Amino acid sequence: MSEQLKFIVEQLNKDPFKKNFNLITFDNLEPMQLLQILNDVLAEIDPKQVMDIREEMPDQTVKRMSALLGMLKYRPPGNLSDVSTFRQGLVTGSKPVVHPILHWLLQRVHELKKRAYLARFLVKLEVPADFLQDDVINDTYHQYEELVEGFKTYHKECEQLRTSGFSTAEIRRDIGAMEEEKDQLIKRVDRLKKRVESMSNHQWMLEQARQLRVEKEREESLTDQKQEQKNQLFQAEQRLQRSQHQLKDLQQAATDASPESLMKRLEEEIKINSYMASEKLPKDLEGMRRTVQYLQKVASEPAMGQADLQELEDKIKECDSQINQLIEKRMMRNDPMDDKLALYRQQASIIVRRKESKAEELQEAREELAAAERELRQRSSQAQASDGAEVIRGDELKHLVVKLRSKGTMYKKKRLDIAELKAEYGVLQRTEEILRQRHEIVQQKLQTVEAEKGISGYSDTQEELERVSAIKSELDEKKGRTLDGMSEMVKKLNSMIVEKKSALAPIIKELRSLRQRYQELNQEYEEKKVQYESCAAGLESNRSKLEQEVKILREEKAQDENHYHHINSMSEACMLKIVVQRKTFKPGSASGPQTIDSSSTPYLPKLREKQKMVKGSHTINMEQMKMWRDLEQLMECKGQCFIRAQSQASIGQVIQEEGEDRLVL
């Protein structure tokens, strides 16, 4: 217990509470002050709990604190597992109840803050099943559940982004690298511009490329317009079909719309409505009123025991037997042969029953028709909103009516099942009440047995605990007033401080040596850091030099390749000329040697020497070119990896910023 109090006092003296307590002052707090401290700790976890408990009723305070502790999943110790004992301790501000709560809360403040924050959004509202029968309430509740699931996913993503390890230093480095890449791209674009400008017809090629881009954009817009016009044509055809069907229906209705038929329909409808208004609906209303009166009478009566139920069952049996006897006497007294009106009465009763059943069927059909019309209006409004959606036609409407009728029968069956379940629930509830009464009787007997055995009951232990707590509070007040007790406590504290100092002395010595070691390692770390930075700067400068050399060598390679191809073309041309001269040369002709092209003879020795040099260095040059190509592929791969990493980092940054904005909102 002393360790628990020490921990509570240490945590209350820290931020954000800053109570400035010690063990004596905290132990001498009044119950109201202790409850206020508990309320302050709960308010730190949930800001809605900020309140002065003196302005609130004790039962409301206990209810509010119990609800929050239940939401935070607090479990009282074993000796306080009884709910009534726990609530009584909260009302009176009992230390054995409040101290464990404070110790548990102060151990996990950050975790409980998160749990309280999530509970505001994740604790679902309990909506009765009867209310969910309404379509609007059901849809709203489903939307609420979808929003709760969405909040869970967004919160998980936010936590993952928080723990992903992104920092401002990394973002700055990424921005610097992106700026460098931007400069490189600008330089590359400039080089490409210079290469293009060297061509004679580059302006014409740029203009053609620009026109191609404009034509492609125009083609895309034309395809979009074409698709839109197709959709409009389809919607217009659908509207035409609907109008034609409506016209046919109106024409068919107009063929049967003679005055005599209309009058007959109206008279039949008036008779049906007058019967419904004057006979059926008043009977149904009177039956509902009797049912309500009966239910009110049943609800106003006190709870009955098993003996009362047995007595009522006996009365019901007696009444049933009397009714049966009266029916038998009436049947014996009234001879059906003498009663000439019995047949007519029977037929009249059959007709009345049929009339009532047909009226019920008519009412159900009207309800189904009204529901179908509502659904039809809803779908037509949806079709108008979507501007071209498919509307229900005649056959589909008939199919929908059949479907609704089947659903109506299914609904009636389900309603009967619900009524049976409710009746069973009432029986079970009554059984539970009877068992609870028996349990109370057993508890009373148990208390009497405990009293006989000399063991005090619950009330006696509660009074004893209150008396002991009162005596303890008085002793604590006396102890706080006495100076001798305070001096003894100070002596004990001084002795404890001396013991702690003696125990901490070797640890402090070891800490000093560790601090000195830390300073040495830190100095060595700074030196290594400086060396690393200088080495990195040198490597960076060497890398830039190598890049410049690579660029120069690539340009030389390109020039050599151009020169090589030029020489090859020249040599091929010379060989062709030689072949032609040999074919046209005749040994006996005097003009044979003079037919050789004199313009190509000075170049032949130089070309042969150049050809020998190229053949000699061909393999070496090919190997070097292969190595350069491999190096170029390696650098391109590294560049792509770097760009991919930068894009992923930027996407993560955007997601993190969106998560922070949502949290702020």
Mapping DSSP onto H, E and C, the string for 45-75 reads: HCHHHCCCHHHCCHHHHHHHHHHHHHHCCCC
Query: Does the pLDDT of residue 179 top 80, yes or no?
Result: yes
**What average pLDDT does the segment 188-194 reach?**
80
Distance (Å) of CA 119 to CA 41, 114, 340? 18, 8, 78
Query: Does the pLDDT of residue 289 top 70, yes or no?
Result: yes
What phi and psi values does residue 329 have, to the nearest 5 degrees? -60, -40
Ranking 328-332, 399-403, 501-505, 655-659 by mean pLDDT, the lowest is 655-659
On the 0-12 / 13-18 / 19+ scale of CB atoms within 10 A, 304 is middle
What phi and psi values does residue 16 have, to the nearest 5 degrees? -100, 10
d(C-alpha 381, C-alpha 37), whole Å? 60
Share of the chain above pLDDT 90, in %: 1
Q: Are 161 and 652 in contact (CB under 8 A)?
A: yes
Q: Which residue is listed with tokens 């723990």?
A: 163
**What average pLDDT does the segment 542-558 reach?**
86
Q: What is the structure's pLDDT at 468?
A: 64
Per the structure block, which two tokens stand in for 432?
């539970």
Q: What is the structure's pLDDT at 588?
A: 52
Ranking 339-353, 589-603, 632-646 by mean pLDDT, the lowest is 589-603
Query: Does the pLDDT of residue 504 top 60, yes or no?
Result: yes
Q: What is the structure's pLDDT at 253?
A: 67
Q: What is the structure's pLDDT at 183?
A: 87
Query: Does the pLDDT of residue 652 top 60, yes or no?
Result: no
Q: What is the structure's pLDDT at 367?
A: 82
Q: What is the structure's pLDDT at 222?
A: 92
Q: What is the pLDDT of residues 44-84, one digit of tens each?
A: 888 777 777 777 787 788 888 888 887 777 777 765 556 77
Query: Does the pLDDT of residue 664 top 50, yes or no?
Result: no
On the 0-12 / 13-18 / 19+ scale of CB atoms within 10 A, 567 is middle
Q: What is the structure's pLDDT at 580?
A: 84
Per the structure block, which two tokens stand in for 565?
């191809």
Q: What is the structure's pLDDT at 567?
A: 87
**What average pLDDT does the segment 504-508 reach?**
83
**What average pLDDT does the segment 617-640 reach?**
85
**Of 295, 302, 296, which Cα lies nearest the Cα of 433?**
302
**What average pLDDT does the segment 92-99 reach?**
81
CA of residue 336 relative to chain centroid, distance: 76
**What average pLDDT does the segment 552-581 reach?**
86
Q: What is the structure's pLDDT at 462?
A: 55
Q: What is the structure's pLDDT at 591?
A: 44
Q: Are 43 and 50 in contact (CB under 8 A)?
A: yes
Most confidently modeled range among 168-177, 344-353, 536-545: 536-545
pTM: 0.29
Q: What is the mean pLDDT of the chain?
A: 76
Query: Does the pLDDT of residue 299 top 80, yes or no?
Result: no
**What average pLDDT does the segment 615-635 reach?**
84
Query: Does the pLDDT of residue 208 top 70, yes or no?
Result: yes
Ranking 43-47, 76-80, 186-190, 443-447 by mean pLDDT, the lowest is 76-80
Q: What is the pLDDT of residues 341-358, one digit of tens each?
A: 566 666 777 777 777 777
**What average pLDDT does the segment 171-197 reach?**
82
**What average pLDDT does the segment 10-33 reach?**
79
Query: Does the pLDDT of residue 597 top 60, yes or no?
Result: no
Q: What is the pLDDT of residues 391-416, one digit of tens each?
A: 555 566 666 777 777 777 888 788 78
Q: What is the structure's pLDDT at 630?
A: 87
Q: What is the pLDDT of residues 228-267, one digit of tens each?
A: 898 889 888 888 888 888 788 777 766 666 777 778 778 8
Q: Are 489 and 23 in contact (CB under 8 A)?
A: no
In one-letter notation, the amino acid at residue 350 is I
d(C-alpha 110, C-alpha 104), whole Å? 12
Per the structure block, which two tokens stand in for 604?
């032949």
Q: What is the structure's pLDDT at 661?
A: 46
